Structure 1
Amino acid sequence: MNFFLETLKVLGLSTYYLLESLVFFVVPRRKKNVSGETVLITGAASGFGRLLSLKFARLGATLVLWDINQEGLKETVRLARENGALRVHSYICDCSKRQDIYRVADQVKREVGDVSILVNNAGIVTGKTFLNCPDSLVEKTMEVNTMAHFWTTKAFLPAMMASNHGHLVTIASTAGLCGATRLSDYCASKFGAVGFAESMDVEMKTLGKNGVKTTTVCPYTMNTGMFDGVQNKWPHVLPMLDPEYVAEKTVTAVRQNQEMLILPRIIYFLLVLKSILPTKASVVFLDYLGVLHLMDTFKGRPKKE
Structure 2
Amino acid sequence: MKFFLQCLQFLPLLIIFTLESLLKLFIPKKRKSVTGEIVLITGAGHGIGRLTAYEFAKLKSKLVLWDINKHGIEDTAAECRRLGAKVHAFVVDCSNREDIYSSAKKVKAEVGDVSILVNNAGVVYTSDLFATQDPQIEKTFEVNVLAHFWTTKAFLPVMMKNNHGHIVTVASAAGHTGVPFLLAYCSSKFAAVGFHKALTEELAALERTGVKTTCLCPNFINTGFIKNASTALGPILEPEEVVDKLLNGILTEQKMIFIPSSICFLTVVENTVSRKRQPNAENWEPLCIHLWWTAVTAKTFITP
* Same fold (TM > 0.5): yes
Please show how residues 21-36 of structure 1 align to structure 2 within 5 Å: 21-36=21-36
Structure 1 position 239, deviation (Å)? 1.3
Structure 1 position 146, deviation (Å)? 0.4
2:287 maps to which residue? none
Please show how residues 1-305 of structure 1 align to structure 2 within 5 Å: 20-85=20-85, 87-227=86-226, 229-232=227-230, 238-280=234-276
Give the aligned residue type for 2:73.
Answer: L
Give the aligned residue type for 1:151.
Answer: W
Conserved in 1, the CA contact under 8 Å of 2:44 and 2:65? yes
Name the SS of the counterpart of 1:132 in structure 2.
coil
Residues 204 and 71 of structure 1: CA distance in aligned 2, closer, same or farther (over 3 Å): same
Structure 1 position 83, deviation (Å)? 1.8
Structure 1 position 230, deviation (Å)? 1.4
Give the aligned residue type for 2:192.
Answer: A
2:297 maps to which residue? none
Q: CA RMSD in A?
A: 2.1
- For structure 1, the 5+ residue unaligned runs are 1-12, 282-305
Residues 233 and 275 of structure 1: CA distance in aligned 2, closer, same or farther (over 3 Å): closer
Residues 120 and 224 of structure 1: CA distance in aligned 2, closer, same or farther (over 3 Å): same
Q: After TM superposition, what 4+ stretches of structure 1 lie above 6 angstroms from structure 2?
A: 13-18
Point out which structure has higher relative CO (alpha carbons under 8 A, 6+ apart): 2
User: 1 CA distance for matches of 2:229 and 2:72?
Assistant: 27
Q: CA offsets per residue over residues 75-121 of structure 1, 9 Å max, x none?
A: 00011112221x10000110001010000001100111100000000
User: 2 CA distance for matches of 1:206 and 1:15?
Assistant: 28
User: 2 CA distance for matches of 1:24 and 1:84?
Assistant: 34
Name the SS of the counterpart of 2:130 in structure 1.
helix
Name the SS of the counterpart of 1:79 in structure 2.
helix
Conserved in 1, the CA contact under 8 Å of 2:140 and 2:184? yes
TM-score (norm 2): 0.83
User: 1 CA distance for matches of 2:205 and 2:21?
Assistant: 21
Residues 233 and 93 of structure 1: CA distance in aligned 2, closer, same or farther (over 3 Å): closer
User: 1 CA distance for matches of 2:178 and 2:266?
Assistant: 13
Give the aligned residue type for 1:230.
Answer: N
Name the SS of the counterpart of 2:257 in structure 1.
strand
Structure 1 position 18, deviation (Å)? 6.4
The number of residue pairs the alignment matches comes to: 266
TM-score (norm 1): 0.83
Give the aligned residue type for 1:254.
Answer: I
Structure 1 position 266, deviation (Å)? 2.3
- For structure 2, the 5+ residue unaligned runs are 1-12, 278-304
Structure 1 position 20, deviation (Å)? 4.7
